[in-house]
Structure 1
Amino acid sequence: MRLRFLASTSEAGACPSLYETDRGTIVVQGLHVTDPKALADLRDVLDGEAAVEVPRELLVDIARRVLN
């Protein structure tokens, strides 16, 4: 799988960031969620899956770019 950088809210281009894959999916780079209460709210987490946190404005920004 190859990734193409889409957007970030970090001035240094680190996390949080979004990437498009050559498989037509999106990869999210963000802070790993470790709060036990938050993790307990997740549903149907499969082996190998993880929760990451990204700012809402990053998702809004990329949605505007894709839809325009």
Structure 2
Amino acid sequence: MRLRFLGSTSEAGACPSLYETDRGTLVVQGLEVVDREARADLRHVLDGETAVEVPRELLVEIARRALPDHH
């Protein structure tokens, strides 16, 4: 699998960051959610899966760049 960097809201491209893969999926780089109460709220976590936290602004910025402008 290969990744293509889509963007970050952090200085110098540090995490959190978003990537697209050559398989048509997305990869999120960020801090792992380790808070026990928050992890208890996760549903259907499979072996090998984890949760990462990213700011809403990152997803909004990437969506803004990726979606066609309909003005």
TM-score (normalizing by structure 2)? 0.93
Q: Could you give the per-residue CA deviations for residues 6-57 of structure 1, whole angstroms, max 9, x where no partner exists? A: 0101112110000010001000000000000000000000000000000000
Structure 1 match to 2:24 = 24
- Stretches of structure 2 that go unaligned for 5 or more consecutive residues are none
Matches within 5 A, 1:1-68: 1-68=1-68
CA RMSD of aligned residues (A): 0.6
User: Percent sequence identity over matched residues?
Assistant: 82
Segments of 4+ moved more than 3 angstroms: none
Q: How many residue pairs align between the two structures?
A: 68
Q: Which segments of 5 or more consecutive residues in structure 1 lack a partner in the other structure?
A: none
